[in-house]
Amino acid sequence: MARRGKKKGRPISGWVVFDKPHGMGSTDAVAKIKWLFKADKAGHAGTLDPLASGMLPIALGEATKTVPYVMDGAKVYRFTVTWGEERSTDDLEGVATKTSDLRPSDEQVRALMPKYTGVIMQTPPQFSAIKIAGERAYDLAREGEAVDIPEREVEIGRLDLVEWLDERRTVFEVECGKGTYVRSLARDMGRDLGCFGHISELRRVEVEPFTPDELVTLEELEAAAALAAPAGETGEDGRIVDPRSERERFATLDALVVDTGAALDCLPQVAVSDDAATKIRLGNPVIVRGRDAPAEADEACVTARGRLVAIGAIEAGMFKPKRVFAGR
């Protein structure tokens, strides 16, 4: 008997700018979105802890090829620091390891904040995905090992004090680059102030190049996916008869997807003809023309009829594809 192949998902491509709810892990979020869209492939652009909520861009299909560009983008977080207690995980989920009766004043906090803007050195949390001798730091920490994690350079574009909820809790907003740990920021500020501190609430507000207006909630996605469920009478073979095409069934859900090319706003964009797009998709270089077409570029992307065709380099006016995208 021939083996039955694994059912292939839909060839849907684009970005779901998911508003991840508190308590859901990033891997679980990807699996949920992939299942709702019946997508053949999915992946996220930067882990968001279960404790955190907010923007988790999830790539579907061909968009997974653009994940590195989103991961390199700036991110904005709004977070609450609770003073007086340092925890093992540097957030609310860990156990208290250091405590203090001291509470910082507004003046003390504001005086400290310039130290944490610009390019700074930061040590990631013990409970983090950093690899130490091939092992994840959080796996070693769960086994009770004290992990020596080397500090590294990160960039913080701005750090704003938003409000004081009470004498123990302060709300901040930070814009930072790739690799920055907000939990480490809260921990280090608490140590400098002599009162200790940890993250008690965390929300990712923005991931460049996406905006909060593009956020879509789990409830909205589930409601749209319900409209894609097969409908109609049962045929003689026991299968549900649905006169709608797959495109019609998923139209409401697919309308929530952001175009794949949106992730590449950081690159020069060059429009080409349909004939040129066909050549590029076959891996062939083409001459790019136009007032805005650069003569040289280490990386650029070309489009045809507004759809992404490929990412590549431009040398002496010739575009050489490195990564091509299907025309769907």
| DSSP result, 286-297 | EE--STT--S-E
Instruction: Answer yes or no: are the C-beta atoms of 73 and 175 closer than 8 Å.
Output: no
Residue 169 backbone dihedrals phi, psi, to 5 degrees: -125, 130
Instruction: Answer yes or no: are the C-beta atoms of 137 and 130 closer than 8 Å.
Output: yes
Instruction: Answer yes or no: are the C-beta atoms of 190 and 86 closer than 8 Å.
Output: yes
Q: Which two tokens stand for residue 252?
A: 């409401």
Instruction: Answer yes or no: are the C-beta atoms of 56 and 29 closer than 8 Å.
Output: yes
- Choose, from 19, 49, 91, 188, the residue flagged as catalytic: 49
Q: Is-catalytic flag, 49? A: yes
pTM of the shown model: 0.88
Max intra-chain CA distance, the chain: 76
Q: Measuring CA to CA, which residue among 324, 327, 328 is closest to residue 65?
A: 324
- The pLDDT value given to residue 1: 46
Residue 84 backbone dihedrals phi, psi, to 5 degrees: 100, 0
Cis status of the peptide bond prior to 209, with omega within 30 of 0: yes
Q: How far is CA 274 from the centre of its chain?
A: 32
| 290 φ/ψ sector (left φ>0, alpha ψ -120 to 50, else beta) | left
Using 50 as the pLDDT threshold, list the residues of the chain that sit under it.
1-2
If DSSP codes are grouped into helix, strand and coil, which group holds residue 26?
Answer: helix
Which residue carries 């093992």 as its tokens?
88
- How far the first Cα of the chain sits from its last, in Å, is 35
